[in-house]
């Protein structure tokens, strides 16, 4: 009702003229009440003046201006008071709804209380019953007379009868021996990677050129005397010896060596580039050809070599000769590089092009050695398509990376005569895996200097020591 009266009063203030405002509709707001009382008093003064004068009289206008200002102030105060009343009303409504909800939930809560009281009563009765039974049982046990007596006091020996220390020691020693045997057996069964050269040589009746040690350098320079450099020179020397024993290799024309592997990342391109570099250092005019046209890598080993200008350009363009695509290397004057060129959409078809016969026939008359980096033969057929141009194949396997099943594939390729004159190289061999070979270098002041390598005993790992112990 108060809210309605205040709204009506606000509407009357918006009308023209000066009407009295009832002062009993907001008794709780003393400030607004005093303003309304003064406003009504000013209306009385104005009405008295108008009864004796007109509305244009200066006093009447002054009082009218005062009343207009008070109307605005009273209206704002009434709007604020109205807003306050609405908020209080909303708060009362919420409290009323909350009380109604609580009143509505009282029966449900009463049911829960009754249920809990019944449960407590049942548990209490059960507890009392069990306590009574406990007391009855205790009384019954205490009142029963013993039907046995002690004839002789028991005694014991200081040595325990069970458990037996000897049996425990025997079981512990047996388990201690069985555990390493089982571990070694499981590790051998689950290990499918080639870890030493004996894994290769014991299963293949093929020439083994040697191990290539792990190297931090991409290319071995002429003055490099590191173990990795020496291992590459050994492989190159052994390869020369193998080529001399082959009756199919000509003396006048270039010796053509294809380097391949079963899968990628076995170090095929690394071996190829370093063997070619080693031949060139020995004064042989050497050509390095990249025929792994799907994944070319040779340009990474030589500075200033254009990768997209090479073999595929020659095959696709008949206007230039093969000499136009051969690039000199930055290593020495004896080493030349023929990169694979741009990557074509049909690599296998290019390998069947008749210009390849012309290319190899021309190049064999111009170089001493031709080293060819081919595609992995276990993944692609590109190498098989051009294998007829090779005098010998160098097959690369990588330590701790190549699978032992690759050995069977190599043996099958040899039996089927798909690759001729295969020689094996074991790449990325660490010092501890190099069949006991440890390289040493020393300089003596006043006694000259030199370098060498010897067959020294390497430090065995714990697993290898356990294997040796059980073999004994």
Of 343, 341, 336, the residue nearest 308 (C-alpha):
341
Q: What is the mean pLDDT of residues 440-457?
A: 31
- Evaluate if residue 437 carries a pLDDT over 70: no
**What is the phi/psi pair of residue 56, to 5°?**
-85, 0
Cα(386)–Cα(374) distance, rounded to whole angstroms?
A: 9
Cα(370)–Cα(255) distance, rounded to whole angstroms?
A: 6
Could you tell me the residue ranges of all domains in the chain?
A: 2-135, 194-441
The residue count for the chain: 472
460: DSSP letter = P
Out of 3.30.1330.10, 3.30.160.250, 3.40.50.300, 3.90.1170.50, the CATH code matching 194-441 is 3.40.50.300
The sheet with strand 422-429 has its strands ordered as: 208-213, 422-429, 392-398, 255-261, 369-373, 286-290, 335-338, 327-328
288-321: per-residue pLDDT in tens? 999 999 889 888 898 888 888 899 988 888 778 8
Split at pLDDT 50, 70, 90, the class of 425 is: very high
Split at pLDDT 50, 70, 90, the class of 224 is: confident
Within 10 Å of residue 340's Cβ, how many Cβ atoms? Answer: 27
Cα(395)–Cα(271) distance, rounded to whole angstroms?
A: 10
155-181: per-residue pLDDT in tens? 777 777 777 788 889 999 999 999 999
Q: Where are the alpha helices (DSSP H) in 53-191?
A: 58-143, 165-190
């Amino acid at each position: 009702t108060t809210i309605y009266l205040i709204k009506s009063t606000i509407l009357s203030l918006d009308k023209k003229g000066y009407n009295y405002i009832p002062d009993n509709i907001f008794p709780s707001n003393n400030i607004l009440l005093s303003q309304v009382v003064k406003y009504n008093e000013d209306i009385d003064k104005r009405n008295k003046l108008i009864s004796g004068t007109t509305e244009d009289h200066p006093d009447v206008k002054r009082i009218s201006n005062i009343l207009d200002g008070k109307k605005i102030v009273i209206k704002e105060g009434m709007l604020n008071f109205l807003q306050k009343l609405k908020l209080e009303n909303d708060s009362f409504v919420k409290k009323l709804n909350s009380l109604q909800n609580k009143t509505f939930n009282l029966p449900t809560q009463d049911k829960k209380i009754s249920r809990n009281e019944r449960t407590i009563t049942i548990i209490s009765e059960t507890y009392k019953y069990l306590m009574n039974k406990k007391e009855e049982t205790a009384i019954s046990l205490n009142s029963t007379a013993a039907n046995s007596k002690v004839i002789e006091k028991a005694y014991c020996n200081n040595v325990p009868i069970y458990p037996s220390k000897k049996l425990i020691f025997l079981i512990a020693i047996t388990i201690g021996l069985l555990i390493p045997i089982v571990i070694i057996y499981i590790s051998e069964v689950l290990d499918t990677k080639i870890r030493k050269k004996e894994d290769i040589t014991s299963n293949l009746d093929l020439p083994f050129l040697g191990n290539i040690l792990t190297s931090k350098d991409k290319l071995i320079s002429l003055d490099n005397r590191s173990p990795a450099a020496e291992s590459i020179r050994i492989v190159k020397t052994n390869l020369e010896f193998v080529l001399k024993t082959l009756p199919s290799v000509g003396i006048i024309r270039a010796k053509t060596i294809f380097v391949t592997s079963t899968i990628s990342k076995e170090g095929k391109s690394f071996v190829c580039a370093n063997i070619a570099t080693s031949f060139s250092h020995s004064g042989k005019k050497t050509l390095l050809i990249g025929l792994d046209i799907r994944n070319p890598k040779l340009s990474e080993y030589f500075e200033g070599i254009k990768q997209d200008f090479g073999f595929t350009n020659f095959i696709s363009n008949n206007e230039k000769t093969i000499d136009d695509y051969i690039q000199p290397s930055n290593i020495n004057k004896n080493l030349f590089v023929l990169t694979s060129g741009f990557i074509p959409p049909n690599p296998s078809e290019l390998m069947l092009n008749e210009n390849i016969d012309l290319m190899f026939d021309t190049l064999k008359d111009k170089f001493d050695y031709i080293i060819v980096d081919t595609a992995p033969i276990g993944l692609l057929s590109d190498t098989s398509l051009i294998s007829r141009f090779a005098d010998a194949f160098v097959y690369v396997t990588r330590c701790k990376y190549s699978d032992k099943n690759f050995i069977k594939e190599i043996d099958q390729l040899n039996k089927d005569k798909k690759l001729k004159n295969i020689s094996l190289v074991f790449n990325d061999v660490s010092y501890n895996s190099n069949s006991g070979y440890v390289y040493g270098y020393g300089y003596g002041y006043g006694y000259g200097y030199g370098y060498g390598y010897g067959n020294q005993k390497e430090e065995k790992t714990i697993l290898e020591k356990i294997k040796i112990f059980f073999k004994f």
